[in-house]
């Protein structure tokens, strides 16, 4: 009987909205900005990012509620974290009893768009996305046209792309793209990786600083509400749901005089 060696864990409750800001610095990856995450999606992503490894995170919702968009954010986050560590991009498997569901996910990764023109598109020629479909051996090339795929025999999209001729064409294309983005010339791929890695780390540092400042602001505001006896209507001290600095300054000037 090995029952004594078994560990039981209780389900983790979703992160609440008021706790989301504590984890905002963990949300580092976003695939396109056409559909910004809703509060519910952000709570779910935050719950996932603060969960232990090998934890099952179940997300339920009817069609059109943003499950695929959320999945894109999860994948983007994993890729960005790998870039921060300087490691290889993670391999993520999406599987379903419904082939169409997997194909929809695959296509969604290729069709994301960004309003940041210098970051839009892929920095590789003739390449729309990294997601790849693992089709039945019976699927013909005509049926798979326009879809990234890999068959068991190794044939498919990446067999076409991963060769010396393509790499010789892809390198200057990539260097041109990052040169436009950073407004400087590059000749070395490794230097490009270091520059992009530093940019990501700077963004992470900014988010961490913002999270700390927001936490301090929230704590101060709660103490202010508790101790400021002259408040008759708290709405008088709010502007767009934030503390109205002008109103607070008026009261400070009154006390000084």
Q: In angstroms, how far is the first alpha carbon of the chain from the final one? A: 78
Cβ–Cβ < 8 Å for 134, 105: no
Kindly tell me if the per-residue pLDDT of 149 is higher than 80.
Answer: yes
pLDDT above 90 as % of the chain: 21
pLDDT above 70 as % of the chain: 90
Kindly tell me if the per-residue pLDDT of 51 is higher than 60.
Answer: yes
The model's confidence at residue 205, banded by pLDDT at 50, 70 and 90, is very high
- d(C-alpha 238, C-alpha 249), whole Å: 13
Mean pLDDT of the chain: 82
Tokens 């983790």 belong to which residue? Answer: 12
Q: What is the mean pLDDT of residues 167-181?
A: 93
- d(C-alpha 218, C-alpha 32), whole Å: 30
CA dihedral 247, 248, 254, 257 (to 10 degrees): -130
For residue range 235-247, list pLDDT tens digits in order. 777 777 777 778 7
Rounded to 10 deg, the angle between the 39-49 and 67-85 helix axes is 40
Q: How many Cβ atoms from other residues are within 10 Å of residue 257's Cβ?
A: 5
The model's confidence at residue 178, banded by pLDDT at 50, 70 and 90, is very high
Structure tokens at 98: 């419904």
- d(C-alpha 103, C-alpha 94), whole Å: 10
- d(C-alpha 37, C-alpha 256), whole Å: 45
Residues 126, 129, 132, 138: is their CA dihedral positive or negative?
Answer: negative
The model's confidence at residue 61, banded by pLDDT at 50, 70 and 90, is confident
For residue range 88-113, list pLDDT tens digits in order. 888 888 888 887 788 888 888 877 77
Q: How many residues does the chain have?
A: 257
- The pTM of the full predicted model, rounded to 2 decimals, is 0.77
Structure tokens at 214: 């927001």
Tokens 């002008």 belong to which residue? Answer: 246
- d(C-alpha 28, C-alpha 186), whole Å: 25
Q: How many Cβ atoms from other residues are within 10 Å of residue 195's Cβ?
A: 14
For residue range 122-143, list pLDDT tens digits in order. 888 888 777 888 888 888 878 8
């Amino acid at each position: 009987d090995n029952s004594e060696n078994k560990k039981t864990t209780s389900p983790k409750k979703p992160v609440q909205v008021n706790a989301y800001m504590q984890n905002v610095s963990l949300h580092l990856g976003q695939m396109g900005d056409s559909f910004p995450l809703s509060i519910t999606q952000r709570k779910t992503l935050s719950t996932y990012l603060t969960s232990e490894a090998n934890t099952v995170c179940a997300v339920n919702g009817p069609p059109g509620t943003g499950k695929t968009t959320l999945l894109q954010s999860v994948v983007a986050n994993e890729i960005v974290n790998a870039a921060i560590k300087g490691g290889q991009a993670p391999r993520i498997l999406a599987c379903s009893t419904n082939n169409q569901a997997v194909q929809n996910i695959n296509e969604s990764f290729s069709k994301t768009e960004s309003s940041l023109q210098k970051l839009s598109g892929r920095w590789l020629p003739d390449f729309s996305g990294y997601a790849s479909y693992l089709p039945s051996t019976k699927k013909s090339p005509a049926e798979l046209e326009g879809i990234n795929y890999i068959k068991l025999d190794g044939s498919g999209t990446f067999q076409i792309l991963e060769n010396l001729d393509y790499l010789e064409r892809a390198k200057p294309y990539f260097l041109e793209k990052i040169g436009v983005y950073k407004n400087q010339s590059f000749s070395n791929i490794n230097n490009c990786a270091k520059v992009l890695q530093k940019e990501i780390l700077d963004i992470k540092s900014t988010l961490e600083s913002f999270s700390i400042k927001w936490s301090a602001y929230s704590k101060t505001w709660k103490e202010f509400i508790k101790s400021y006896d002259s408040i008759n209507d708290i709405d008088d001290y709010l502007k767009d749901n934030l503390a109205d600095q002008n109103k607070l300054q008026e009261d400070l000037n009154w006390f000084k005089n």
